[in-house]
Structure 1
Amino acid sequence: MLTEIKTERLLLRPFTEADRQEMVAIETDPRTNRFRVNPPDEPAAHRMFDAWLAHWTEHGYGYLAVRDHQDPALLGMSGVRLRDFQGEKVLNLGYRFHPSAWGKGYAVEAASASVHWAERELAQAPVLISVNVINKPSLRVVERLGFTNYEEVTDEDGAVVRNFRR
């Protein structure tokens, strides 16, 4: 079971119930949803958080709370969760950060640590990341992580999404 990942600046650890309100606020912030066709409202964000906790209970890993070593405030999340992609079990790489954390390299640092952990500990499933084609900041993160274009599809919300693998 994953307990925590430390990087130069960040601590990534399993979510706890105490993280719920901060993460729901990040997930429902209009600034963090500017590229989502169907952004979550507060009840949907609570259901997402419940699903993250349930994934941890079932699998012993999942999305992680991300904090700076020097600051107790939640910066956001990163990590991998099991997902079915076109009949294949993959590890979905996710990351979302509070706008105050943008532009500081936290997404690349946290996602890179998450990917390296997953490739080492869960090598039986490939890591995949799905990004809306209009989300240029996230596409830059994907590029810096070393992922390459895998497939472009239209998702259930009508957004054109690129699915990347390393």
Structure 2
Amino acid sequence: MAVVTETKRLRLRLMKWDDHADIMKIFSDPVAMRYYPSMKNDEEGNFWINWTLDNYRKFGVGLWVVEDLATGEFLGMCGLVPQKVDGNVQMEIGYLFVRKHWGKGYATEAALACKEYGFNHLKCDKLISLIDPDNQPSIKVARRIGMEYIKNITKWNKTIAIYHVENR
């Protein structure tokens, strides 16, 4: 298991093909996927894993699996994802969690670990999060890790809010 980083309660590790069933716990949940264009079927889940593994190869980062440090239980995904915004590639802190684990601070803890990784290991000047403007829980996570709203853009055929934090 290729561990990227750990926090007090969480392990963030590289995704692998064996994670498909766990990832589908998020992608097949209409509530968890409310702010995405649509839920994902098994084939789209496979495409997602392949896209993530490709990000690892090309950029050295991507979404990582988040596990409970004590039990190893799959909680969700969080990581650094290269995203094209206004013609430039920027590093996004992205996060998706299994609904039964919402409200426990896992997304904030994992996103904070990704922020620290981006600033300390990758030496990023700034990090962004791309969030549906109606997704208040994700906006709260972004704000808790020090991000501020910049503006709305159109991406993935919908309005997306950009939040960012600078490395100071």
Paired residue type of 2:36? R
CA deviation after TM superposition for structure 1 residue 94, in Å: 0.7
- Paired residues, what number? 164
Please say if 1:162 is aligned against 2:155. no
Matched with 1:50 is: 50
Q: Is the 8 A contact 2:17 2:49 kept in 1?
A: no
Name the residue aligned to 2:32: 32
Which residue of structure 2 lines up, in the alignment, with residue 139 of structure 1? 139
Q: Distance in 1 between matches of 2:75 and 2:106?
A: 9
Query: Any runs of at least 4 consecutive aligned residues in structure 1 with deviations exceeding 6 A, and if so which?
Result: none
CA distance in 2, matches of 1:114, 1:65: 12
Aligned partners of 1:82 and 1:90 also within 8 Å: yes
Residue 84 of structure 1: aligned partner: 84
TM-score (norm 2): 0.89
Name 1:121's counterpart in structure 2.
121
Rounded Cα–Cα distance in structure 1 between residues aligned with 2:103 and 2:124: 33
In the alignment, is the contact (CA less than 8 A) between 2:52 and 2:62 conserved in 1? yes
**Secondary structure of 1:33 counterpart:** coil
Residue identity matched to 2:70: Q
TM-score by length of 1: 0.90
The answer to whether the Cα contact below 8 Å between 1:24 and 1:46 also exists between their aligned partners in 2 is no
Q: Does 132-141 or 36-45 show the bigger shift?
A: 36-45
Q: RMSD value over aligned CA atoms?
A: 1.7
Gap runs ≥5 in structure 2: none
Higher percent of residues as helix: 1
For the residue of structure 2 that corresponds to 1:31, the secondary structure is coil
CA contact (8 A) 2:118 2:124 kept: no
- 1:154 is displaced (CA, Å) by 3.2
CA–CA distance in structure 1, aligned partners of residues 125 and 28 of structure 2: 30
Write the letter of the residue equivalent to 1:164.
Y
Letter in 1 for 2:24: V
